[in-house]
Amino acid sequence: MKVHVVYDEAGRIQAISHPIPGKNGAPTLGRFRPHPGQHIATLQVPAEAAGLTPRQLHDAVRIDLSGGAPRLIAKAKSGAGERA
């Protein structure tokens, strides 16, 4: 499953949306309009986060910019005694 993501230059997610079917059935970006310093991408949801709502995804994933192209990855889960 792919989602549309608005994120900033540090990779912080600003908004997530499931694709909206267009007139010809192809998914569209909807009405996202990034502000200066923000970017839009259509990204693959990691398998462990598949089926989550956009709100749940916002809490469960982050943008990884280390490989050049942005990608969604699951956030590390904090264990007992660790700071989140």
pTM for this entry: 0.75
| Rounded Cα–Cα distance for residues 64 and 75 (Å) | 10
Reduced to 3 states (helix: H, G, I; strand: E, B; else coil), residue 1 is coil
Which of 8-17, 59-68, 75-84 is least confident?
Answer: 75-84
Answer yes or no: are the C-beta atoms of 6 and 40 closer than 8 Å: yes
Closest CA to 69 of 42, 47, 45: 42
Condensed to tens digits (0 to 9), the pLDDT of residues 26-54 reads 777 567 788 999 999 989 999 999 888 88
> In Å, how far are 16, 28, 82 from 25, measured between CA atoms?
20, 9, 46
CB 11 within 8 A of CB 17: no
In tens, the pLDDT along 72-81 reads 999 887 655 4
E strand spans, the chain = 2-8, 13-17, 20-21, 27-28, 38-44, 61-64, 71-74
